[in-house]
Structure 1
Amino acid sequence: MSSSNGSCLFCKISDGKDDKTVLLRDDDGIVVFRDIHPATTHHYLVVPKRHVRNVNELVPDDAELMERLVAAGKQVLGEQGVKDYDDVRYGNDPPCKSM
């Protein structure tokens, strides 16, 4: 399902080609893994396997993808013991800095 970009670190991770990254979830076209420089105990990246250069590439048809990304993040948070979602923060940083 991956349509990767060879120079994108996140595509390499989602394709399982980064030995340093442990995937906490890999299904439904989405991967979840810990941030390499976490800002908090539970800092995860939820990334589509489809290469997305930046959030400006997303279109209204991607709403379902965004919902699945949020759901995957919540699932991993729950699996990691997070019970209170009131303090959860979501961000939409560009998945790939390779332009």
Structure 2
Amino acid sequence: MEDCIFCKIVAGEIPATIVRETDDVIAFEDLHPQAPHHVLVIPRRHIATLNDLTAEDAVTVGNMARVAAEVAAERGFAEAGYRTVMNCNQQGGQTVYHIHMHLLGGRPLGWPPG
């Protein structure tokens, strides 16, 4: 999608602080962190919302979770704990319509989240 900010990051058109890349996933620092560690993990392929996932996307979403866990371990907060969040559509809090997983850690995270 030509107007998708995350697709532009994937294409290298917009700079981002990339922390991990695989064949199908990219992880980068969030520009507006909500925790000491806040990384976004996205698929390289544009998928607008969780509602648009197909059975073929299961491996990619699994890879997103695996990359999040690896980044948490590398940064030293996996054992203390972290949260992963994927929002879907407006009432779910989605603001960029390219699925993404938030990885949050480095402080106690309360419940309910909001």
What residue in structure 2 maps to residue 9 of structure 1? 5
Alignment partner of 2:40 out of 42, 45, 48: 45
Alignment partner of 2:27 out of 32, 35, 38: 32
Aligned-pair Cα RMSD in Å: 1.9
Q: How many residues align?
A: 92
Percentage of pairs with the same residue:
29
SS of 1:89's equivalent in the other structure is strand
CA distance in 2, matches of 1:26, 1:95: 23
What residue in structure 2 maps to residue 55 of structure 1? 50
CA distance in 1, matches of 2:68, 2:25: 10
Alignment of 1:82-97 (within 5 A): 82-84=77-79, 87-93=81-87, 94=94, 96-97=96-97
SS of 1:63's equivalent in the other structure is helix
When you count helix as a share of all residues, which structure comes out higher?
1
Question: 1:51 is aligned with what amino acid?
Answer: H
What residue in structure 2 maps to residue 65 of structure 1? 60
SS of 1:7's equivalent in the other structure is coil
SS of 1:83's equivalent in the other structure is coil
